Structure 1
């Protein structure tokens, strides 16, 4: 894994200059958030989600991934506070993989448009500087910033466009109901495909060889997908373990067991828990589903999906969610729809390439 990076005051010094913030109301300031701000940031994030898609789903655990001491190894954050010290804007930059920096920008929807526009401008300018630092540490000439927006959030679209971002992709966020009877579902087809969980050692930790198999399958199967960037094994495991919904017993490997041959890894599914809102049951979520090209057409993906459906039902959960590339030529959405998934809402990816100065 790369050397750990921590946010320093130099990340915000220029933006903390009173002359730079002179067109904001008196008393506004810039700072770096930490765990103590998690509740306030979660409230800001939930208002953003409710405005963008009609309902909120994030909580303090999701925010802690971004602002905790552990998260700061690969992330930088900035917040804008008003004269009363209330957080009105937040940006988080995540050095996800070589050449790809994920960016979250959230502005309080209670601000009027002119003030919100200026807050967004400051946050996106900070993102360019964060991209320059990240790209420089990676030894890159150009650093991509990958930010997102809900498809119906016109205000976010306006800010992204003004900051030089281009909308490059749409993503269908899909969900499928799960019934208790599906706990007895047999997901394995009669085609020499066997699904097994990632092996666990005595202390409950996963077998490293199996984790490397999962990583290798995903890197290989996604190599020709949109905006694929190579992620090291250490980066991959560290990032997935940060997810509040992470569970080792939600990782599966599909193997081909053709007669007379040793079992051959062919696909993998990494799942997670999604907590229910307002006392509702939890759900499961497909973080990753990858099948090697040599094994496609054998029912591997369908068997893996059937496995997480049956697992969710056995745990008393009521749904399984996933994300699919709406613009992909592979037609993966047809499989999901045939198995009962329906689109709940749509998100977008917006990209900007930032030159990295020497």
Structure 2
């Protein structure tokens, strides 16, 4: 097994603050929930809505507990931690996100909604309601979260000058309670996703000669270049962005995203590390290497075991398909994970795509862990 310490030879990502990357425009959301929900007749007497206070440890702890219980009931185990919650409600997220909580008569948080201005025309929604509530109260909370999200979609769509704003929310395939709420609120199930995982074992470190940089059949696979303080070269980051934008143009629900939006969003991820970004380049042609593939990985931290790696994005330009670019990038992140002592590499694949990509991943060792769904609602902008 290669020396895992060599993976950390460059300065850590923690040394690079988010402000080093220009953020997108100011928030397009309405900060005050009362401004978009002036009346909440669905809630029981004494119940209220408010913004969660990211600076209150009790609030973060409660939201983490709600989210982990939501995950455990939906797929069989929890995975999120306080860092994931702060990624939604913390100060850095305020430029692109808004949050609301529903408080019962004792001011205990019973539901949480989070919206993310993801890209022009697409707004993500996180929808979590306590499973300890009686049906009527849970239904009331769910209704308020949807009403709030629709109002926020109208605000974002108006600020962007759109005619229609999409709300995109995810659900575990087994979460029939959430399915019923979404269907009643005019959401439609539009896609199924396989969440897959592959073991990372000691021998996988030998899949490539060096996950930092290696070549095969005229293709070089390398990490994005970084300067002396750990920040990557802008030209490499722009190459990653351009490849992913081009590669995903014809994919389901793909929306254009500016370079600044892309970079700011990915750096908000608690698992973000610059030394998990790879480029694939053609080096068998005259002139400068030609970037044709990109993989953006993250760290999947565990509370009670080895960490894992995760493939957040993998894109290959059409002109380079058939040259083993995707396979080489996947081998790079698996070898990297093994050399770090991690035990798995996860990814998400579109199970409804005609490309049948899940079969390719299965052939490379990935196996299905659980299934999620995408539900959409289009909000007309008046």
| Same fold per superposition (TM over 0.5) | yes
TM-superposed deviation, 1:9: 5.4
TM-superposed deviation, 1:15: 3.1
Assess if the C-alpha contact under 8 Å between 1:166 and 1:351 holds in 2: yes
Q: Provide the rounded CA distance (Å) in 2 between the counterparts of 1:24 and 1:5.
A: 28
Q: Provide the rounded CA distance (Å) in 2 between the counterparts of 1:190 and 1:314.
A: 20
Residues 1:334 and 2:334 are matched in the alignment: no
2:156 corresponds, among 134, 137, 149, to 134
Q: Provide the rounded CA distance (Å) in 2 between the counterparts of 1:2 and 1:143.
A: 18
**Structure 1 gap segments, 5+ residues each:** none
2:372 matched residue in structure 1: 347
Task: Indicate the SS of the match to 1:123.
Answer: helix
Alignment map for 1:168-179 (pairs within 5 Å): 168-179=190-201
1:159 corresponds, among 181, 203, 210, to 181
RMSD of aligned Cα (Å): 1.5
Alignment map for 1:92-171 (pairs within 5 Å): 92-171=114-193
Q: Provide the rounded CA distance (Å) in 2 between the counterparts of 1:109 and 1:353.
A: 28
**Structure 2 gap segments, 5+ residues each:** 1-22
Task: Flag the 1:9–1:192 CA change in 2: closer, same or farther, 3 A.
Answer: closer
Q: TM-score, normalised by structure 1?
A: 0.95
Q: Provide the rounded CA distance (Å) in 1 between the counterparts of 2:282 and 2:31.
A: 53
Assess if the C-alpha contact under 8 Å between 2:29 and 2:155 holds in 1: no
Q: TM-score, normalised by structure 2?
A: 0.89
Alignment map for 1:254-269 (pairs within 5 Å): 254-269=280-295
Task: Indicate the SS of the match to 1:199.
Answer: coil
Q: Provide the rounded CA distance (Å) in 2 between the counterparts of 1:56 and 1:257.
A: 44
TM-superposed deviation, 1:16: 5.4
Alignment map for 1:251-330 (pairs within 5 Å): 251-278=277-304, 280-330=305-355
Task: Flag the 1:191–1:345 CA change in 2: closer, same or farther, 3 A.
Answer: same
2:50 matched residue in structure 1: 31
Moved more, 205-214 or 29-38: 29-38
Assess if the C-alpha contact under 8 Å between 1:12 and 1:78 holds in 2: no
Assess if the C-alpha contact under 8 Å between 1:273 and 1:282 holds in 2: yes
TM-superposed deviation, 1:331: 2.1
TM-superposed deviation, 1:124: 0.3
TM-superposed deviation, 1:24: 3.1
Moved more, 8-17 or 293-302: 8-17
Task: Flag the 1:334–1:261 CA change in 2: closer, same or farther, 3 A.
Answer: farther
Question: Number of paired residues?
Answer: 353
Assess if the C-alpha contact under 8 Å between 1:281 and 1:317 holds in 2: yes
Residues 1:12 and 2:37 are matched in the alignment: no
Task: Indicate the SS of the match to 1:320.
Answer: strand
Residues 1:242 and 2:242 are matched in the alignment: no
Q: Provide the rounded CA distance (Å) in 2 between the counterparts of 1:27 and 1:281.
A: 45
Residues 1:60 and 2:85 are matched in the alignment: no
1:205 matched residue in structure 2: 231
